[in-house]
Amino acid sequence: MADAASYEYDLFVIGAGSGGVRAARTAAAQGARVGIAEDRYLGGTCVNVGCVPKKLYSYAAHFHDTFDDAEGFGWELDAPARFNWSTLRENKKGEIKRLNGIYQRLLENAGVTLCNARAKVDGAHSLTLFSDQGEQHITAEKILVATGGWPWVPDFPGAEHVVDSNQVFDLDRFPERFLVLGGGYIAVEFASIFNGLGSETHLIYRRDLFLRGFDDEVREFTRDEMERKGTHLHFNTHISRIDKGSNGYRVTFTDGKTLEVDAVLSATGRRANVEGLGLDTLGITLDAQGKIPVNERFETAVPSILALGDLIDGPELTPVALAEAMQLTGLHFTPEPPEPLDYSRIPTAVFCHPNIGTVGLSEEAAREQHGSIRVYRTDFRAMQHTLSGSQERTLMKLVVDDASDVVLGAHMVGDDAGELIQGIAIAVRAGLTKADFDRTVGIHPTGAEEFVTLRTPDRR
């Protein structure tokens, strides 16, 4: 085996998404010789076809409510506001181009060699890069596979007519009638986005309630609020076929219902993006969950080949990939090993309308794991909606371990829930008690103060 200095790179990263770029930069900052290959766009899913454009579109969709609400506060909007899809789409493209440039500069300034190429792993320490310039063979002491996930679409007659979450941002024409298949993050977010932008919006999900795994009350509350805003929800059914017609697509459901729409988004999960990487020939194969198995040092079955982010088990979230990248470089490129990564109590937000913010255990999980719990909850019409006339309601909820008084979970459905739960997550992560919440003085008048003024348990 060659010694470390005989390799061209100490670390070669495949995939310049959130996790890959962070690992490359932090390893380079430790003095490692680092290269990175990317054949698509810098910044990966999050920047190009995920978190960033989604949030921009979510902002766009929120204006609908804002215009509706304005009148009660004295604003007279002379004509109904009109939405221009191509303005949003093109402005979004400009912003993403700007971010791609920032990522390029981050890598360059960190001293990372950026290769616009597709990589294939040939051996434990060797890769081939394919680009317009031809093939290049490279050696590296460690190879990090950070190629993330790719949307997956189920098979049914007419499945070729659906768009996936990579494509939906750049539709040529605004879909006046829109259908989303699925019941996860992407499905509810895009149903809310297109509903807010003015489409007649439908969501179809195969079970009885979407957002499986979230707190049940949060799921029910979200269902009611999304319906109140006009999204049509079809549960316990699936698409049996899609036929292209003269005026859009005719979608037939397994329960016999039919629907005419202009676009169908399949938001049915994502799969590890490993095709053509050559990992299987080295004995690195996916487990039953479709993930690459790694140990706590992010080492695959071939220890010099590492993997992180959406490729490995764990929440498919940008901040998780970033944390894993920091952990990985701490383990492999610094003398002092870092503390193990704690995957529990990772806060998350779903940017449906209204937003969901959540950290820690759901009521159901807490009951199962801790037995005796107290649930504090409130739902109310936010102050803003007294004058706006909107009937939108907000849900806030704390799940508390009865014996220790520790807050096990905090959940919210309402405006800016993600912004608010980020702060609450520090308290939950720190293991603070309900008494600590109670001792905290509220900020008035806010919705957030409800989290420190919930005095009486709703149920046990």
Binding region for ligand NDP (CB under 6 A): 154, 182-187, 189, 205-207, 212, 238, 267-270, 315-317, 348-351
| CA-wise closest residue to 231 among 194, 206, 263 | 194
Provide the minimum distance between the beta carbon of 131 and ligand NDP in the complex, in angstroms, as a whole number.
29
Residue whose C-beta lies closest to ligand NDP: 184
Nearer to ligand NDP, 142 or 219 (CB): 219
Hey, is 321 helix, strand or coil?
A: helix
Q: How far is the CB of 109 from ligand NDP (least distance, A)?
A: 28
Strand pairing report for 9-14 and 134-145: parallel
Query: Between 214 and 437, whose beta carbon lies closer to ligand NDP?
Result: 214
For ligand NDP, the closer CB: 50 or 330? 50
Q: Which residue has the tokens 């037995």?
A: 371
Q: Which residue has the tokens 């204006």?
A: 63
Q: Which is nearer to ligand NDP, 72 or 154 (CB)?
A: 154
DSSP H helices in 5-76: 18-29, 44-49, 51-70
Structure tokens at 137: 């063979």
391, 224 contact by CB (below 8 A): no
Q: Give whichever of 289 and 456 is closer to ligand NDP, judged by the CB atom.
A: 289
Q: Tokens 């402005």, residue?
A: 91
What is the spatial distance between Cα 35 and Cα 147, in angstroms, rounded to a whole number?
A: 15
> How many residues in total does the chain contain?
460
Q: How far is the CB of 40 from ligand NDP (least distance, A)?
A: 18
The candidate with the shortest Cα–Cα distance to 41, out of 95, 101, 85, is: 101
Residue type, 203: L
Residue number with CB closer to ligand NDP (300 or 358): 358
Nearest approach, Cβ of residue 78 and ligand NDP (Å): 36
Q: How far is the CB of 311 from ligand NDP (least distance, A)?
A: 13
Burial readout 68-99 (b: 16 or more C-beta within 10 A, e: otherwise): ebeeeeeeeeeeeeeeebeebbeebeeebeeb
Task: Provide CB contacts within 8 A for 87, sequence distance 6+.
Answer: none
Shortest reach from residue 117's CB to ligand NDP, in Å: 27
- Confirm if 38 and 15 have CB atoms less than 8 A apart: yes
Q: How far is the CB of 119 from ligand NDP (least distance, A)?
A: 24
Is 137 an active-site residue?
no
For ligand NDP, give the closer residue by CB, 186 or 425: 186
Choice among 64, 232, 370, 444 that is catalytic: 444
- Give CA–CA dist 328/20, Å, rounded: 11
What are the beta bridge partners of residue 190? none
Cβ 136 vs Cβ 50: under 8 Å: no
Please tell me the distance from the alpha carbon of residue 163 to that of residue 249, in angstroms, as a whole number: 12
Catalytic site positions = 444
